Amino acid sequence: MNSRQNTIAIEILGEILGDDLTTAQGPLSGLKVLDLSIIVAGGTASSLLADFGAEVVKVERPGTGDPLRNWGPFANGVSLWWKVHSRNKKSITLNLGTPEGQDLLKRLSAEADVLIEGFRPGAMERWGLGPDDLLAVNPKLVMLRYSGFGQSGPYKDRPGFGTIAECMSGYVGMTGFQDTPPVLPPVPLADEIAGVFGAMAGMMALYHRDASGSPNAKGQVVDVSLFEPLFRLCIPHITMYDMLGINRERVGNDFPDAAPRSLYKTADDRWLGLSATSQSTFEGLAKAMGMSELIERPEFKDNAARLENRDQLNNELNGWLGQRDLKETMDQLIPAGGVVGPVYDAAQIMEDPHYQAREDIIDIDDPELGQTKMLGVVPKFSETPGAVEHAGPTIGEHNGHIYGTWLRLDDEELGGLAQQGTI
């Protein structure tokens, strides 16, 4: 059967099962992804792939599902985290702790391009589902393995959540003010960044597999820890310490290597972000503010001088900005090339015309939530844009569709598997 015939057969079977779920669009349309991970990191990777057309099948434990379903806040008894994070995904249930469940996963893996898992190192191997087992079934499979500290090294067996990764990456140690404790981010930052890195790495592995055109091209295993992607984004810090003995300290809202860059309060009690970290931008800002004399003052003549006298410079800027409201400030500085922007909350984001024009906030009609808004798809593709087809599914909502189309199981077989607790 050629690919076109196979697509038609799947569409017909989907209609028989009562679902037409073959309408995904985007550059990854046709890519099949099994997501065994839980909570955020692996789910972020699969969410990004799903936004751009991949068929992502979320594999959940029967009865309980992904623990993310228990994260509040809730609307109509449903986790909003789940509804957004698992949009465009299909949910099946499968008990990986049983021989029957392990056999089904191997059969599903034979049909997949990518498998994402987030168990502690060694768990998949104990189930007979490690890389050797799955790559034997499907040599072209790309396997993304998420864990707190990676699959190797002395910490590999430690439990690890994103909070610990954020602390050990070096990020938290330099976040906050000198006279306050370090500050954790208010979002699962390490998990989400690891998710982005995982999605990128998965695409790299698929490119390596497919670009050669060889029928013998193989998949591979990608080892993604939670701490290393965030560590990678703290770009020069290790080299700075090694070469110059500089150990990055907390500097609040300032940027340690260039000035000015901080938050400033306007006369109407709004906060404004301002960055003028290149010489030309600083000179343009000073002129736009009507304070050209700042350019001539020796303590502000170049970046090194501005860093040494940063507090004094911030006092000058605070004095000017504190006498003007936010709109007046923006109207005066932006036309002159000033790099400024307001600190937004959710309500202000939803009102912003640029967000609206970019379709960064979209409307979804969900059976459980009704009409709701959520984040749009980014980045924007000119020829193959992604889309949000639906919000996060109910537990096992797509058992019939996936087991039917991927494995050709019928209702009687599915009923037997459900009765024995396998699905």
pLDDT in tens, 46-60: 999 999 999 999 999
For helices 3-16 and 399-407, what crossing angle results, to 10°? Answer: 150
In the chain, % of residues over pLDDT 90: 92
Q: What is the pLDDT of residue 22?
A: 52
Q: How does residue 12 score in pLDDT terms, banded at 50, 70 and 90?
A: very low
Residue 215 has a pLDDT of 83
**Cβ count near 20 (within 10 Å):** 10
For 177, phi and psi rounded to 5 degrees? Answer: -105, 160
Interval 61-99: pLDDT, tens:
999 999 999 999 999 999 999 999 999 999 999 999 999
Residues carrying an active site annotation? 191
Mean pLDDT (the chain, rounded):
94
pLDDT single digits (tens) 325-356 = 999 999 999 999 999 999 999 999 999 999 99
Question: How many Å is the Cα radius of gyration of the chain?
Answer: 26
Residue 423 has pLDDT above 70, yes or no: yes
In this prediction, residues 377-388 reach a mean pLDDT of: 97
- Residue 352's pLDDT is 98
**pLDDT at residue number 23:** 58
Note the pLDDT tens digit of each residue in 208-243: 999 988 888 899 999 999 999 999 999 999 999 999
How far apart CA 224 and CA 147 sit, in angstroms, is: 7
Q: Buried b / exposed e across 227-260, counting CB within 10 Å, b at 16+?
A: bbbbbeeeeebeeeeeeeeeebebbeebeeebbb
At 14, is the pLDDT very low, low, confident or very high (cuts 50, 70, 90)?
very low
pLDDT at 5: 34
8 Å CB contact between 288 and 338: yes
Residue 10's pLDDT is what? 38
Residue 163 token pair: 């909070």
Between the two ends of the chain, the Cα-to-Cα distance in Å is 29
Asked if residue 154 has pLDDT above 60, the reply is yes
What pLDDT, on the 0 to 100 scale, is given for residue 212? 81
User: pLDDT band at residue 13, thresholds of 50, 70 and 90?
Assistant: very low
**Across residues 185-214, what is the average pLDDT?**
96
Q: What is the pLDDT of residue 126?
A: 97
pLDDT at 21: 57
Asked whether residue 153 carries a pLDDT value surpassing 70, the answer given is yes
Distance from C-alpha of 344 to C-alpha of 312, rounded to nearest angstrom:
27
Whether 4 shows a pLDDT value over 50: the answer reads no
Please compute the mean of the pLDDT values over residues 169-191 and round it to a whole number. Answer: 96
Token pair for 337: 């090339």
16-30, 50-64, 115-129, 336-350: which has the minimum mean pLDDT?
16-30
CA distances from 207 to 50, 138, 150 (A): 18, 17, 23
Q: What is the pLDDT of residue 216?
A: 85
Record the pTM: 0.92
Q: What percent of the chain has pLDDT over 70?
A: 95
